[in-house]
Amino acid sequence: MIRLLRRVNRLIRWMPVIWHTGDWDYSYVLEILAHSLGELEQHLLDHDMLVCSKRNAKRIHYVRQMVGRYLNGTSRDMAYERHEKKWGEMVGFRIPIPNSDFVEWRSARLNARTTQEQERERKDFQRAMKEAHRLEQRDWDAIWDTIKKHGQRWWC
């Protein structure tokens, strides 16, 4: 009976995660991974049965933090925030295309007024996109490198 109650409790804890996941994006796999690691981290902290339980719980917590950063775009946003601080907020507007139901989308930055400034802003934005991708890749690598290095010992 106790085993049944534990399984029902586990099902209840997992229900929100399963309910909100989909099959079409890797971010859902990361959310499932983060939830599973959270359960393991809590188990290690609560039961402290192994000599390395606290150390493993810290590593698991680190991975969960990195998954959160990756899913929230925290690192990626840092690169864009620097760009926006320098060039100002992006303003978007639509221009109707004559004799058509379509519109052309254009955008501009408040601090890029001249043609030369607009060109510098565009090049700066390309650098910001590369930096954002680099930071996002760094977080991705940190997740999988930590799991690759320590993951098999978390359950020992």
What is the CA 13 to chain-centroid distance, rounded?
22
Task: Output the pLDDT for position 144.
Answer: 97
Residue 77: other Cβ atoms inside 10 A = 15
Amino acid at 31: E
Q: What is the pTM of this model?
A: 0.77
Instruction: Please give the Cα distance from 70 to 136 (Å, whole number).
Output: 6
Instruction: Please give the Cα distance from 82 to 51 (Å, whole number).
Output: 44
Task: Output the pLDDT for position 1.
Answer: 87
pLDDT-flagged residues of the chain (< 50): none
Task: Output the pLDDT for position 33.
Answer: 94
Strands (E), the chain: 90-96, 103-109
In DSSP terms, which residues pair with 104 in a beta bridge? 95
Task: Output the pLDDT for position 135.
Answer: 94
- Helix (H), strand (E), coil (C) string for 43-54: HHHHHCCCCCHH
Tell me which residue range forms the domain holding 54: 2-153
Task: Output the pLDDT for position 119.
Answer: 94
Task: Output the pLDDT for position 140.
Answer: 96
Structural domains of the chain, count:
1
Which residue has 């991975």 as its token pair? 63
Assigned token pair, 149: 């290095």
Task: Output the pLDDT for position 114.
Answer: 93
Instruction: Please give the Cα distance from 79 to 56 (Å, whole number).
Output: 32
Question: In this structure, which long-range contacts are made by residues 11-17, counting pairs with CB atoms below 8 Å and at least 24 apart in sequence?
Answer: 13/39
Residue 23: other Cβ atoms inside 10 A = 6
Task: Output the pLDDT for position 156.
Answer: 64
Task: Output the pLDDT for position 69.
Answer: 94
